[in-house]
Amino acid sequence: MSVKERIRAVCKDKKMSVYEFEKLIDASNGYVNSIYKSIGIDKLEKIIEIFPNINIEWLLVGRGEMYKNYETVNEQNYKINKKEIITAGDLLDRIEKQSEEIGNLKAQIQQLTSKK
Same domain, 90 and 110: yes
pLDDT tens-place string over residues 49-85: 888 889 989 988 888 888 886 444 454 455 555 555 6
Kindly state the DSSP code that residue 85 receives in the 8-state scheme.
-
What average pLDDT does the structure give for the chain? Answer: 81
Model's pTM, two decimal places? 0.56
Kindly state the DSSP code that residue 67 receives in the 8-state scheme.
B
CATH of the domain at 68: 1.10.260
Q: What is the number of domains present in the chain?
A: 2
Same domain, 65 and 92: no
Q: How far apart, in whole angstroms, are the C-alpha atoms of residue 113 and residue 108?
A: 9
Question: What is the number of alpha carbons within 13 Å of residue 56 lying toward its C-beta?
Answer: 12
Same domain, 61 and 107: no
Same domain, 19 and 49: yes
Q: Phi/psi of residue 67, each to 5°?
A: -115, 150
pLDDT tens-place string over residues 87-106: 767 777 788 888 899 999 99
Q: Which domain holds residue 38?
A: 3-79
